[in-house]
Each structure stands twice: as structure tokens, then as C-alpha cells.
Structure 1
């Protein structure tokens, strides 16, 4: 079992005295032990008061120099084996995903043109504002949202779906399993799309254990864990997928101003993207521009992100002030740090 410890340590602070604590993540988790076995609590969720204040000051200073990250679409290589080359796969909830610790060890040079892997590792940070926004990790609320899809019977059949801030892309892959007509994946970092999202989609759509496809059996056996995969067979599902990187407003403009404009989305999925209040305006505008008139947004979040100040109720208040959407907290998870699932729709929608 592979555990990762993800936290920043200030050598001048006594973390024990400040009450720091960690949540661990293991891909081979079970329902009854998820809170103990998941990778981390979320972006900047668990930190001491003094460390949180220092991180907040550092973020405030960094924001002054932030640049808007241009958007681009990532093509799907013809040779899908190259996508999975040198990748080690694990499984979680019967989905294949790239082993993230191996990506950290092997991703460098041209494969990490943004330098986010080395920067994240060297700084012991899960977030570097305007540089790296957490896509190298699978955050806890992703699993909360996946559980909610099953519990609430959320339908993806023939829907157009956007996995916003996708990271590993597990939410979008679940939508593909649910027979979505189209699924688009977006992450801030191009390295995340190329080295994590796209390989995960390919691994779940092709080869042995392929179980994502329109009209196909979704009960294929679980693929071998922690072994390289080869893409085999016809990747029909990939024709329903597109991949984008860049800042939200830039991706929106790329989609809306394309020579082949994209129709709006019936469903937008997003997890742990409201940790920073400075991003709320861009996120709100993106949802308003890309959501179909009668569409739904499903958003998973911590109630509060210590150190960065965001959270579900602050975002809910922001939404109310804009007076464009109506919101409803449809599920609350009380184990560990309190978390919520929010449904968002246009005020005049059916």
C-alpha cells in the first residue's frame, strides 16, 4: 500500500503544539475507512494558525504577479501506447489512474515544460498560485461527489459534460461510464492533462479491462494494479472526449470563439475548486458562460479551507450576490473535516 504524506513544515514552528494533523490516502480504500485512507484533506485544509497566516501572506504577495494562463486544446496522439508509456497504474473504485508518486519521480524536462512537478516537490506545496493549482493530486471531495452520483442517481446518458479543474479526471471518466455523449476535461496545467488526465482516460477506455463505452458492459474485471498498461482495441470512447488546459476564463473564450464553437454543457462537475476566494469571479463567469440554460453544476467542497479562506458558504454568498444562479446544498459529510455537495442551476431554469 502506497501512502503519501503531504504537508509543509516550518522549521521555526512546533507543529505538535499547533495541533497539525494529516489525512492519508490509499487507492485501495474501502467505504468504511475512507477518512483514514484518502490522500489528503484538500488544498491548504490542514495547517497550524501560524503556518496558515504565513501561507496567506505568501499567497497575497504572489497574486500581485499572477499572469493569466493561456488556454490550449490538447490533441489525442494516434499511438495511444505512447500515452501510457512509462506509466504505472493503480486502481481506485474500479477506475485506473496513474500512480502519482511515479509521475513525480519520472516527469521532468519536456514532459514537465511548466516545471510544476519539480516546483511542487521542492517547495513541499500542493498549491503555487498562478503556477500550479493542485492537479497532481486526487482530492478527497472527488470521492464524495462520485458517491453522490450513485446515491442520487445522477444521469449522464446522452449529456454533454465538463470536468472543470479535472486533475486526474475521475469525475469525467465516471460520466463516460454513464454513457455521456461528450465529456471535456479542463485543468489549469498542461502537464497535468498530458501526464495524468489523458493517460487515465486512455487507460479506462482501451485495452484489457476496458469498461467505458456506449452500450458496452461496464462490469469488466479490475485491471492489474501497479503495472504498466498497453492501449489495445478500438478507442471509440476517445472520440467523445476533448482536453483543455489554461485559466478558466481563457478556456471559456477558446471554446466560445472557436471556428467550431462548442455547444454548452448539460452538466459541469467540479471538486475542490473554491478554496481561494480570489478565483470566485472567474469560476462564476465560466459557469454562467458554459452551462446550458437548464443544466446543472455539481460542486464538491470543504466547508472551509484554513489558510486560504475559501469554502462552501463563502462561495454560496458570492453566488447569491451575483443573482444569476440558485444553489442547494444537497449533501453534507460530517466525518473528518466537514464537506458538502452543492447543486447549482440558473435561477430561471426548469
Structure 2
């Protein structure tokens, strides 16, 4: 069964409230025990890590195009360009057929979770982050769950890259999406574009002596503004720049679960956790909530952006608040948006 998120409008009206009293008079669910007891169904993709070069090299020789909506919004790959790359592939998988739009679905359970598109709550989250970092607030260890196009993380990456080389403490960005294809097609490219837009492009390409892309289509044409040829020298320059700025990018695909949390066990605690459009399904809401809480420490600030109601699905902000109440977790609304009949918001969650 398919559905549409049905977004409309983009006005932002910031409001704040005190942290809600999560006591509900009933026994509290232990989110640590709850997650440990959950077994991943066979149909769910197992979590696994991916390297940045591994993901980018899968698009070697591809000319990608991207769009910049406004100076405050990071560049994002054009959806038609993603589909063009998929159409050039042979033997599309079932997931790739959904990504290409052959099935006319926004998502399909256990196959694709909508990560190619940038939904409106993504921009609400960017707005919140801009306000939080405007006064110089710095986050050193960040994870974005259900990242998709990863525009909120890209906005933070841009701020990191604008600081002097090696001047800051080590920074870490973990980007997680259910689909490896989404990481390859939009997540990593959007981060690359964010870096690329900060460079002197002519000087960079001349220094790299970038060879012509392997695709015959582009052999005799030069990339225009809003385009970039994915070559190995360019990939290496991007990674070298990240290293010079003490920035480490990590990527994870697969379902939320105890195995997902275990992949990150023993690493530096996160001081910021981001999620946008991840609470639309009542079936996955408990495992998302437990995964999120198990990734947090007392120092973690979690920001979850969502619609109040996902019509045709059943999830939304009230259901998420109910999950938090059941686990004795405090939260507050830091952004409420009403436009075009659609109500959205951002919740801040603290242990």
C-alpha cells in the first residue's frame, strides 16, 4: 500500500514550551531492555557500515547535477538526475525500481523509506539548527537517523568546513539511512556538493587535472554551474579536505535495532541527534524511539522533526510523545508550524 506525505507550505512560526512531565502513572518501559528483546525480522535489512570512498566510487564517471534553493539551504542533488543515473544501470533491483519511480510509491515497508526526497520537516530542522548555532554553539559528535538527503547534516558540515584547517577539535558526523542506495545516490553527493560549493572550482579542477568522465555522453562537454563530474581525484580531494578539518564522516544502512546501536558501541557519545520524518509509522515508532534513546547520553540533545499527523499511516507527533511518556523521557516542543492545513513541529528530547 502506498501513501503520500502530503506536505504543503513552508512558513515557520517558532514557539517554545517547558519540558513536558512524562510521568503517566503507569509502569515505565525500560528502553534498554525493550530494544535488546527485539529481534530483526528476516525481511528487514541488517545494519552495516559504509565508507565514504566506497559509496562515492560507485558513481565514478557520473556527471551529477544539483540545485541550491537559497543561501541557507545546502545544495541537493536533482531528483531527475538520480533517476537518470538509475536508468543507465542494467538489472535494477526491486528497491531501485521504487527509487526510479516505476511503482509510484513514496515508500514500501522493508524496502524503501522515502529517502530520495527532501520533505518539509527537513527545512524546519535546518531552521532550528541555524538558530541554535547562530550564537556560536558547536556540536562535535552528530548522528542523523533516517538521513535521506541529509540537508540538516550538510548545513552543519558547511559550518565545520568554514573554520580554519585543523583549528577545531575532531568532529564526527554519522549519517544513517535504511537504504544503501539512498546513501550512494543523495546522502554522500549532497555532502560532496556542500564542500564543492566552498571551493574555487576552476582552481580546484585545474590542480586536480581532472580527466574527462568515462561516460561518452560528457566526453566533449564541460560541467556547468550546478554540475560536477565524479572522478577519483575529486573524491580524494574531498576526503583530504575533511581530514585537514578533522572531520570524520561515517555511514550506516539498515534497520533500527540493537544491532544498529551495537555498530556504534564504544564510540564517542553524541552531543546531537537529528531525525526528520522518521515517526510516520506506528509499527516502527517504538523501535525508532528505543534506538534513538540507546544512542543518547545525558549530554545528548535530540531534535526530532515531524508532521503532527501522517494521514493514511497513523503515526505523528502525539504517538511519539506517547512513546516517550511510556519510557519516562522528558521532551518539549521548540517549533510549531501551521501552513496550508498541515501542522508540523520539532521536539527536543533529553535523557
* TM-score (norm. length: structure 1): 0.70
1:228 corresponding residue in structure 2 = 228
Match of 1:335 among 330, 333, 339: 339
Whether the 8 Å contact between 2:56 and 2:188 is mirrored in structure 1 is no
* Structural mapping, 1:274-313, within 5 Å: 274-313=279-318
Q: Does 1:85 align with 2:93?
A: no
CA deviation string 1:49-71 (max 9, x = no partner): xxxxxxxxxxxxxxxx8722111
Range that drifts further, 326-335 or 286-295: 286-295
For the pair 1:196 / 2:186, whether they are aligned, the reply is yes
Equivalences for 1:256-267 in 2 at 5 Å?
A: 256=265, 261-267=266-272
Q: Which of residues 110, 116, 120 in structure 2 aligns to 1:136?
A: 116
Match among 100, 107, 115 for residue 127 of structure 1:
107
Q: Does the alignment pair 1:181 with 2:185?
A: no
Q: Distance in 2 between matches of 1:131 and 1:21?
A: 17
1:161 alignment partner in structure 2: 142
C-alpha distance in 1 between matches for 2:337 and 2:319: 18
Query: Relative to structure 1, is the Cα distance of residues 254 and 306 closer, same or farther in structure 2, using a 3 angstrom cutoff?
Result: same
Secondary structure, in 3 states, of the residue corresponding to 1:173? helix
Partner Cα separation in structure 1 for residue 55 and residue 103 of structure 2: 35
1:73 corresponds to:
49
TM-score, with normalisation over the residues of structure 2?
0.70
Partner residue of 1:107? 86
Larger RCO (CA under 8 A, 6+ residues apart):
2
The Cα of 1:208 is off from its aligned counterpart by: 5.0
Over residues 299-325 of structure 1, what are the superposed CA-to-partner deviations in whole Å (9 max), with x where a residue is unaligned?
A: 1110100000001011101110111x2
Residues 21, 291 of structure 1: alpha-carbon distance in 2 compared, 3 angstrom cutoff:
closer
Q: C-alpha distance in 2, partners of 1:312/1:79?
A: 33
Cα distance in 2 for residues equivalent to 1:271 and 1:70: 21
When residues 208 and 152 of structure 1 are mapped into structure 2, their CA distance, relative to the original with a 3 A threshold, is: closer
How far apart, in 2, do the equivalents of 1:241 and 1:112 lie? Answer: 30
Change in 2 beyond 3 A, CA 1:109/1:255: farther
- Equivalent residue, structure 1, for 2:16: none
Tell me, in whole angstroms, the C-alpha distance in 1 between the residues paired with 2:42 and 2:151.
28
Equivalent pair of 2:149/2:187 in contact (CA under 8 Å): yes
Residue equivalent to 1:44: none
Q: Tell which deviates more after alignment, 65-74 or 239-248.
A: 65-74
Q: Following the alignment from structure 2 to structure 1, what is the Cα–Cα distance between the partners of residues 60 and 270?
A: 27
Consecutive unaligned residues of structure 1, counting only runs of 5 or more, are 1-7, 10-19, 25-32, 36-64, 212-222
Match for residue 130 of structure 2 among 139, 150, 159: 150
Gap change, CA 1:23 and 1:339, over 3 Å in 2: closer
After TM superposition, list the pairs within 5 Å mapping 1:243-254 onto structure 2: 243-249=251-257, 250-254=259-263
Provide the aligned C-alpha RMSD in A: 3.3
Counterpart-to-counterpart distance in 1, 2:6 and 2:186: 24
| Within-5 A mapping of 1:263-274 | 263-274=268-279
Distance 1:297 1:123, change over 3 A: same
Bigger Rg over Cα:
2
Assess, with a 3 A threshold, how the Cα gap between structure 1 residues 80 and 71 changes in structure 2: closer, same or farther: closer
Instruction: Please identify, of 186-195 and 167-176, the stretch whose mean Cα deviation from structure 2 is larger.
Output: 167-176
- Offset, 1:101: 1.7
The unaligned stretches of length 5 or more in structure 2 are 12-40, 161-169, 201-222
Q: Are 2:5 and 2:310, in contact at CA under 8 Å, matched by a contact in 1? A: no
